[in-house]
Structure 1
Amino acid sequence: MRTDVLRELLDGRWATLRRDSLDLLGKLEPAGELSREEHRAWVLEQMRTLAEGGYPAIGFPAEHGDRDDIGGSVVAFEALGYGDLSLMVKAGVQWGLFGGAVQALGTEEHHARYLPAIMSMELPGCFAMTETGHGSDVQHLRTTATYDVEAGEFVVHTPDPAARKDYIGNAARDGRMAVVFAQLVTRGQQHGVHALLVPIRDESGAPMPGVRIEDCGPKAGLNGVDNGRLTFDNVRVPREALLNRYGDVAPDGTYSSPVEGTGRRFFTMLGTLVRGRISVAGGAGSATKKALAIAIGYGSQRRQFTRPDTGEEVVVLDYLAHQRRLLPALATSYALHFAQEELVSALHDGGDDRHQRELESRAAGLKAVATWHATHTIQTCREACGGAGYLSENLLAGLKADTDVFTTFEGDNTVLLQLVAKGLLTSYRDHVGDLDPWGMARFVADQAVSVVIERTAARAIIDRLVRGSSDALLDRGWQVRQFEDRERHILEGLARRLRKASKQDAFDVFNAAQDHVLHAARAHVDRVVLEAFVAAVDRCPDPEVSALLDRVCDLYALSTIEGDRAWFLEHGRLSPARSKAVSQAVNELCRQLRPHARTLVDAFGIPEGWLAAPVLS
């Protein structure tokens, strides 16, 4: 099997940049066992090394001598996920969030003044959005920025303890300036959330007047990142501190914006920051691949118990139970990799408003699924390595601790899936309408017809199974139809439930259907991911590699169906016998892919220095 062909397919559109980023990562040495303060100092030193190596220049504007390669910046961030995750996160804060906000929300004046210093690490900064009392509910943040006409300044203020900026990366130790998100007030009128540049430390490192800085203290992981809390007591900044691409205040206090409406303006501004969410999904994917490389490498050499026929000890990855733990997770990592690649390309290529809405929805859904997959898979890998996996030196304990927060930063996963479902419902309404009685009648009739067609197709495949055809469940068209049908049916059922809501009970109806909402979003993401995997298999130029990927794709599809087979059984998409056949097919695919497990993880191209776990030696 040609690992180089497989790796080339995985490297994708930004192959050269991805390999250059991995080469740069390979030049950094792992931190080893350090105290929290030592880890923070090491991370800051490595940040400067990355800056000197040109890492931050990838995604910033060409007019400042940089590459203006938005997609490439995400790919470079993903590469850091194979290394120290505190370094990856701090790089994301400095160049993705802080620098990205200046780039996306500021104007050319801000770019020229601040971006060179941000890229060089001369100006370490923070992204101060989250508040103690308002995490995901950004639109209702309590921090205020009130314009003082006479002074020509904004007064940034924390009105109560719940409005304290919390969990802010770079705040506790290194940051000198923060992009602060606050409710903008001028001439007594509030204009919604805007972002301002607020100095938080002077040149000596002391807090600026009116700025209170606290350290969040030890965390479960990522202790090389100096998370802190920021409180502002009537801190004054010049009018020019407002990042004014989408909203500006004239010297006399007059507010203007190219985007009409507070709500639309808010979502436009946040939409420009979608790169951070996409980057988190990619970073989680890299950490998961690293965990799988360790667990599969260990499982390929660790022996346990003897065969009664030969008396030889058995390699643990030869046990079906062990394959079941790791190989479906590996297949899902491949599927998510190709979905991430498509998402990064969509971000890079840009498009109209509709494209942007779809991008934001897909980014939210993929971030949720990828980070939950990371949390589950890394725990599984830890268990698959037994006591050795619990030792820090074998890296899995650190990966588990460092990635745990990924499920809640850059958007809580449950909230993100609700956003995905709301987008699906909006699209459904646009296509189907509000379902008046005639529309409902058509919808019910169409649904009945689609169910008959689906069950007829299902019966044909069951007949093939009865006749002994082993490839019935491996029919790619059938797999895709199952994913499509599940998504459509769940969404249609959800639309019917929510249609009953009135203005008086809308919240209660939606709240009562949240399990349905989340299932609809998850089914949608699963289908998108499968389609991305299918497209990747189709473009593979090597027949042998394509055949291998075809089986990996089968394993992803059938293990996903198996994981939700309660729904498929309850809704007549699987018979009990066919449900058993799905599990049997997953077992068989695990057996077929067992000899290729090392090849599949080797193709990730993880630098050897960052896989230096004694358990692999």
Structure 2
Amino acid sequence: MTDKRVTALTHLLAEPDFAEIRPLEQSLHAYSLQTLHRARMLNSAGITANSLWLGRGTTSEFADFLRSMGWIGAYDASLANVLVSHQIAGDALLSHADPDQLAQYGPEIDRMTKVYCFAASELHAGSDLKRIGTTATYRHADRSLVLHTPEPADSKVWIGNSLYTGDVAMVLSRVVVDGRDEGHHWLRVPLRSEGRLIDGVHVRGAEPKGGVEANQTGIITFDRCVLPVSAMMSRWARIDEQGRYHSPLKRYRRFDECLATFTHERLFPTAGAGMAQRLACAVTVRFADLKKAFGGPLISHPHYRMRLRTAAGRATAAKHALEALTAVAVDRHDDRPPSEDRLLHALVACGKTGSTGDARHTLADARELCGGLGYHRLNQISPLQHDYEIAVTFGGDNTVLGYQASRFALREREALAALLDAAIRPHQDASRLLEVMRAVCDQLLADVDRQGPGAASTAWSRAVYQTLALGHWAAHEPTETGQALLRHYAAGCVLEHGVTALRAGALTQEEFLRVAELHEEEGAAPMDAADLLKVLDVPEALITAPIAHADFADRHLAQAVAVPEGRPGPAAVPLRDPA
């Protein structure tokens, strides 16, 4: 993150509105409204806005913008999701609107004067958006579109920002003209006017959720909601005065265009999950350096260090994977639009599945490494666990994304091979391990080609994510501590894919055993907490956990809820007489 942007974010986090994410006595509804208020503050400060998306702002700022969004997600995943829900809906309009629609609605999106919702997923269709049931039928008598939910299972579900405050939804719908289904289109649909739902729109709560509580999610059903024909985004589709539908794109290309916004949107959970891992690891490293157990600090015990290094390795790899993917997205942006760049779509999907999948393990490990105190809400790790569990499903189910990404990769084999070759070229002392991982990627893609999408797709998407992370990390790690962590992480990746590497002839049995020894030696080696914290590089303003400070016991006692004066404490339970 650049100094300017991290400074602005740090200053905001120090303001009273950000002092405590959710006070114990605050209701969920109040927390949701407070989160929306914070989102608008961040937007007004220029830290996050649709104008910073790739293709709208300066490409040199895009990486900083993604890092900012990731740190916001580490502060509070609900806050990041409120912003992302608004921004991906905004991108759907900005990408598909004609010039008049852009002029009319663009400013309210960028200034966040109206809150937008992204309404694509449905109860029945799930991740298979080709099967959505929502229809918008053209009615020539009054040149309107009648938006309708045919069956309850076709309701839009998990729609962020929609339950209490959403003003507008960008709705993915089938457009029907003169009895013909013209396929998928984006519609701008007002949800509320002066705080009240408009006619034909019904919103119910999709609560309670297991996490991300303040991103108020709803289930939206449309009951013959009448919209002007101008509600349909008209960049590449229109209905003329005679009621005839026109589009220069074939039907399958309309679907691809509608889903183009997902390519960049999936970078957000990648960033958030990566920063959440780094924050949890930073808290754990500081606690491990302070907490005494069994004759010394936790960090002095070899097995503890092994587990902590494994978590820190995943967290640091997520940082480098994001940087590598961002660079690829920026480099390829001028060559072709996202809707036509299947290789970029595949790589971003690998990044999303890799970072969010690893977050589940890293956060669980960090929680356990901090013992019972790791489960206390004030110590940050447990809330991150609850909030980032859903990230494996947000933006597309990870398993389904693996299937899709591997199919796309098979069509772009040569380009993918060139990109992965370039990724590992600037390696340092992890060269042999990088070469093995590169061979693993080819072997797993060949397995997908032979067997079809399945388990090999999941393994392939992880291997590509790990290879991109390793290549970028090896080229950009100046510190000895970081290089040692890189070797430990790289050895772990090779061990994970050991059978595949053996099948590919990239590794002998003797080499496999040496990799296992390297992994154990690097993992258990002495650890300097200060040096590792520099590698993790977490802004100090984000580390609020009491256990990250030397006086953590005093802090916990000071923040414990005291029994108010005049009110009796918990009654003692009498012991039963053994007789």
Shorter chain as denominator, the TM-score bin is 0.7 to 0.9
CA gap 1:300/1:60 in 2 versus in 1, 3 angstroms: closer
CA-to-aligned-CA distance 1:124-174 (integer Å, 9 cap, x gap): 121100100111111221000111122111111000011000010011111
Matched positions, count? 532
Which of 26, 38, 41 is the aligned partner of 1:49? 41
Q: Aligned to 1:424, what secondary structure does the other structure show?
A: helix
Which of 194, 211, 214 is the aligned partner of 2:201? 211
Report the Cα offset of residue 61 of structure 1: 8.7
Q: Which moved more, 1:296-305 or 1:30-39?
A: 30-39
Corresponding position of 2:577: none
Amino acid at match of 2:212: L
Alignment of 1:79-98 (within 5 A): 79-94=71-86, 96-98=87-89
CA-to-aligned-CA distance 1:446-504 (integer Å, 9 cap, x gap): xxxxxxxxxxxxxxxxxxxxxxxxxxx99533112201211222222432x24xxxxxx
Amino acid at match of 1:579: F
Corresponding position of 1:242: 232
- Matches of 2:116 and 2:181, distance apart in 1: 27
In structure 1, stretches of 5+ residues that fail to align are 1-10, 306-312, 433-472, 499-509, 538-544
Contact 2:320/2:472 (8 A) holds in 1: yes
Report the Cα offset of residue 98 of structure 1: 1.9
Q: Tell me whether 1:486 sits opposite 2:435 in the alignment.
A: no
- Matches of 1:556 and 1:358, distance apart in 2: 26
Q: Tell me whether 1:585 sits opposite 2:552 in the alignment.
A: no
TM-score, normalization by structure 1: 0.80
Q: Aligned to 1:154, what secondary structure does the other structure show?
A: strand
Corresponding position of 2:255: 266
CA gap 1:489/1:63 in 2 versus in 1, 3 angstroms: closer
Corresponding position of 1:333: 315
Report the Cα offset of residue 515 of structure 1: 1.5
- Matches of 1:61 and 1:490, distance apart in 2: 33
Contact 1:142/1:158 (8 A) holds in 2: yes
Q: Which moved more, 1:286-295 or 1:327-336?
A: 327-336
CA-to-aligned-CA distance 1:347-370 (integer Å, 9 cap, x gap): 344133498222211111100010
Alignment of 1:548-587 (within 5 A): 548-569=481-502, 573-587=506-520
Report the Cα offset of residue 415 of structure 1: 0.7
Q: Which moved more, 1:295-304 or 1:324-333?
A: 324-333
Corresponding position of 1:352: 335
Q: Which moved more, 1:313-322 or 1:278-287?
A: 313-322
Report the Cα offset of residue 87 of structure 1: 0.8
CA-to-aligned-CA distance 1:161-217 (integer Å, 9 cap, x gap): 1100001001111101100100111122212111101111111x2211111110112
Q: Tell me whether 1:229 sits opposite 2:161 in the alignment.
A: no
Amino acid at match of 1:245: R
CA gap 1:549/1:491 in 2 versus in 1, 3 angstroms: same
Contact 1:183/1:192 (8 A) holds in 2: yes
Q: Which moved more, 1:101-110 or 1:181-190?
A: 101-110
Contact 2:317/2:469 (8 A) holds in 1: yes
Corresponding position of 2:354: 369
- Matches of 2:52 and 2:473, distance apart in 1: 30
Amino acid at match of 1:139: K
Amino acid at match of 2:234: N
Corresponding position of 2:460: 520
Q: Aligned to 1:147, what secondary structure does the other structure show?
A: strand
Amino acid at match of 1:86: S
Report the Cα offset of residue 221 of structure 1: 0.8
Corresponding position of 2:267: 278
Q: Aligned to 1:346, what secondary structure does the other structure show?
A: helix
- Matches of 2:259 and 2:101, distance apart in 1: 18
- Matches of 1:549 and 1:62, distance apart in 2: 30
Report the Cα offset of residue 270 of structure 1: 1.3
CA gap 1:286/1:347 in 2 versus in 1, 3 angstroms: same
Alignment of 1:403-418 (within 5 A): 403-418=388-403
Corresponding position of 2:277: 288
Which of 164, 179, 196 is the aligned partner of 1:188? 179
Which of 425, 430, 437 is the aligned partner of 1:476? 430
Contact 1:59/1:70 (8 A) holds in 2: no
CA gap 1:219/1:58 in 2 versus in 1, 3 angstroms: closer
Q: Aligned to 1:594, what secondary structure does the other structure show?
A: coil
- Matches of 2:53 and 2:88, distance apart in 1: 15
Report the Cα offset of residue 514 of structure 1: 1.2
Corresponding position of 1:122: 113
Q: Which moved more, 1:33-42 or 1:282-291?
A: 33-42
Amino acid at match of 1:608: E
Contact 1:156/1:233 (8 A) holds in 2: yes
Corresponding position of 1:324: 306
Which of 163, 167, 173 is the aligned partner of 2:158? 167
Corresponding position of 1:138: 129
- Matches of 1:611 and 1:405, distance apart in 2: 23
Contact 2:317/2:470 (8 A) holds in 1: yes
Corresponding position of 1:608: 540
- Matches of 2:497 and 2:52, distance apart in 1: 43
CA gap 1:62/1:384 in 2 versus in 1, 3 angstroms: closer
Q: Aligned to 1:130, what secondary structure does the other structure show?
A: coil
Which of 224, 232, 247 is the aligned partner of 1:257? 247
Report the Cα offset of residue 522 of structure 1: 2.5
CA-to-aligned-CA distance 1:501-545 (integer Å, 9 cap, x gap): xxxxxxxxx3xx6122322333233222222222323xxxxxxx3
Amino acid at match of 1:148: R
Corresponding position of 1:391: 376
Report the Cα offset of residue 421 of structure 1: 1.0
CA RMSD of aligned residues (A): 2.7
CA gap 1:23/1:161 in 2 versus in 1, 3 angstroms: same
Sequence identity (%): 26
Contact 2:119/2:156 (8 A) holds in 1: yes
- Matches of 1:264 and 1:25, distance apart in 2: 43
Amino acid at match of 2:40: R
Contact 1:58/1:67 (8 A) holds in 2: no
Report the Cα offset of residue 304 of structure 1: 1.2
Contact 1:79/1:286 (8 A) holds in 2: yes
CA-to-aligned-CA distance 1:272-325 (integer Å, 9 cap, x gap): 3422111110011111111111111111111111xxxxxxx2211222221221
- Matches of 1:154 and 1:593, distance apart in 2: 67
- Matches of 2:272 and 2:207, distance apart in 1: 24
Corresponding position of 1:435: none
Amino acid at match of 2:482: L
Amino acid at match of 1:206: R
Report the Cα offset of residue 584 of structure 1: 2.0
Amino acid at match of 2:527: R
Contact 1:30/1:83 (8 A) holds in 2: no
CA gap 1:389/1:285 in 2 versus in 1, 3 angstroms: same
